[in-house]
Structure 1
Amino acid sequence: MRTLGVDLAASTKKTAAAVLDWSAGTARLEYLALDVGDREIVELFGAGSMTGIDCPVGWPDAFLPFLAGHLNFDGPPVLGHDGIEGRRLLAYRDTDRFVTAHTGLIPLSVSADRLAHPAMRCAVLQAKIAAGHGPQARDGSGRLAEVYPAASLKVWGLLARGYKGRGAPEADRLGALLADLCEAAPWLDLAGNEDRLAASDDLFDAVMASLTARAVAVGQTLRPPVSHAAAALTEGWIHVPSGALTGLAAPAPGPAGATRGHSWSENPDNRS
């Protein structure tokens, strides 16, 4: 099994990708790149078993009727969201509230925060994947799943805050976090990329997304309860790990999807 993790940003410059090859109780980092474009992501998706993407794959169900009502001077869909509680239904999805209830973390709003621009790119990317490999269900039941590295870190006991940024405190925290990850997962072979990972939170989050993609593939994430199932198909669903990090290296019951031929470069700087 090969899992792809994507830390998706609005621009390619801050977008990172990581591929892990899982076999014989180990995971080896086969591919690590920054400044990744859509075409490359689609190609990597096609060659993998499961992809975890750190970006919302949908918007709140209430958001589109609200915008349509505003555009068409149709009062009820707009007035139904009067007040702060009504506006929260426009800002947060079912999955966002579910994650907060289970982890205490509050995901950024896809419609009212810094995630809006990356999410637009993600929608285009999903359309490109659908054109080449078929539509992928937004609840993660296909080969593409929404992930949230901060939640994965917390569930796996790697409590990390303040590691994003280029200052000295952030770099020190990222280096310590990477060391903690390597200690907690001795089966993880970073293939000599430790320095690159310690210097870039984008690359680190891509590896975390790839690890979480493995959790999705082997059934070790929280799936949508019946009460959230319909919304998960339209809004998306954040896959939060349900088991320990150590459980990822156990033999998988089978690949999440068929893999396709691809030349996986041993050189992490080769993005062909």
Structure 2
Amino acid sequence: MRTLGVDLAAATKKTAAAVIEWSDDRARLAHLSLDVDDQEIVDLFGSCDMTGVDCPVGWPDALVPFLTGHLNFDAGPVLAHDGIAGRRLLAYRDTDRFCTAQTGLIPLSVSADRLAHPAMRCAVIQAKIAAVHGPQLRDGSGRLAEVYPAASLKIWGLNGRGYKGRGVPEAERLGILLAALEEQAPWLDLGGHRDRITASDDLFDAVIASLTARAAARRRTLLPDEAHASAARSEGWIHLPSCGLDVLPG
């Protein structure tokens, strides 16, 4: 199996990709790239069995009628979201609320925060993938799954707090975090890329996204139940690992 992890930015700059090859009880980081364009993502997707993308693959269901109502001067669907509680339904998806309940982490809003621009690019990339490889269901039941590296790290017991913040130099923070990952996953061969990973949180997140893609491929993530299934198909679904790192190989 080959898994692709993509840390998607709004533009080519700072977009990272990581491909991990899995065999028996081992795994090897076979490809690592930064400043990745759309075509490379489409090409890598085609060569991999499962892709985990660190970016929302859809928008809240409530957002479309709200915007359509505003466009057509139809007050009903707009006033339905009067007040902060109503606006939260426009800002956060079902999967975002599920993620918060499971991990305590609050994903950025795809419609009201810094993720909006990357999500637009993600939609375009999904269309490009569909043109070559067929449409990929947004709930992750195909070959494309939405992932959230910070949540994966927390579930796996790795202290990811602050590795993108200020204080200790980034390389030192990432070095400590990567060392903890290597200790928990001695079966993972970084393929000589350790120094590059400790120098870029984008590359690090791409690696975590690829590891999470493995969990998604093996159905070792928290899948949407009947109450969440409909929204997951349209809005997308964040795949949170339901297993430890030790379960991924083999």
TMscore range, shorter length: over 0.9
**Matched letter for residue 204 of structure 2:** F
Tell me which residue corresponds to 2:78.
78
State whether structure 2 residue 62 is matched by structure 1 residue 62.
yes
**Matched letter for residue 62 of structure 1:** A
Tell me which residue corresponds to 1:248.
248
Q: CA offsets per residue over residues 131-178 of structure 1, 9 Å max, x none?
A: 000000000000000000001000001021111158644332211000
What is the distance in 2 between the residues matched to 1:168 and 1:132?
44
SS of 1:142's equivalent in the other structure is: coil
SS of 2:107's equivalent in the other structure is: coil
**Matched letter for residue 203 of structure 1:** L
Tell me which residue corresponds to 1:125.
125
1:1-272 to 2 correspondences below 5 Å? 1-164=1-164, 168-250=168-250
What is the distance in 1 between the residues matched to 2:130 and 2:164?
32
**Matched letter for residue 60 of structure 2:** P
What is the distance in 2 between the residues matched to 1:205 and 1:187?
19
What is the distance in 2 between the residues matched to 1:208 and 1:233?
24
What is the distance in 1 between the residues matched to 2:164 and 2:5?
18
SS of 2:248's equivalent in the other structure is: helix
What is the distance in 2 between the residues matched to 1:192 and 1:202?
17
Q: Which moved more, 1:210-219 or 1:168-177?
A: 168-177
The 8 Å contact of residues 7 and 15 in structure 1, kept in 2 or not, is answered as yes
**Matched letter for residue 48 of structure 1:** C
CA drift of 1:66 comes to 0.5
The 8 Å contact of residues 54 and 149 in structure 2, kept in 1 or not, is answered as yes
Matched residues, number: 250
What is the distance in 2 between the residues matched to 1:55 and 1:142?
17
Q: CA offsets per residue over residues 36-79 of structure 1, 9 Å max, x none?
A: 00000000000100000000000000001111111110001000
What is the distance in 2 between the residues matched to 1:168 and 1:159?
14
The 8 Å contact of residues 29 and 190 in structure 1, kept in 2 or not, is answered as yes
Change (3 A) 1:228 1:34: same
Percent identity, aligned pairs only, is 76
The 8 Å contact of residues 165 and 201 in structure 1, kept in 2 or not, is answered as no
The 8 Å contact of residues 165 and 171 in structure 1, kept in 2 or not, is answered as no
What is the distance in 1 between the residues matched to 2:94 and 2:55?
15
What is the distance in 2 between the residues matched to 1:164 and 1:56?
20
What is the distance in 1 between the residues matched to 2:117 and 2:145?
19
Tell me which residue corresponds to 1:261.
none
The 8 Å contact of residues 162 and 170 in structure 1, kept in 2 or not, is answered as no
What is the distance in 1 between the residues matched to 2:206 and 2:27?
14
Q: State the TM-score, normalized to the length of structure 1.
A: 0.90
The 8 Å contact of residues 52 and 210 in structure 1, kept in 2 or not, is answered as yes
What is the distance in 2 between the residues matched to 1:144 and 1:79?
35
SS of 2:106's equivalent in the other structure is: coil
Specify every segment of 5 or more residues in structure 1 that has no aligned partner in the other structure, as ranges.
Answer: 251-272
SS of 1:52's equivalent in the other structure is: strand
CA drift of 1:219 comes to 1.2
SS of 2:51's equivalent in the other structure is: strand
Q: CA offsets per residue over residues 8-44 of structure 1, 9 Å max, x none?
A: 0001011000000000211100000001000000000
What is the distance in 2 between the residues matched to 1:87 and 1:93?
11
Specify every segment of 5 or more residues in structure 2 that has no aligned partner in the other structure, as ranges.
Answer: none
SS of 2:96's equivalent in the other structure is: helix
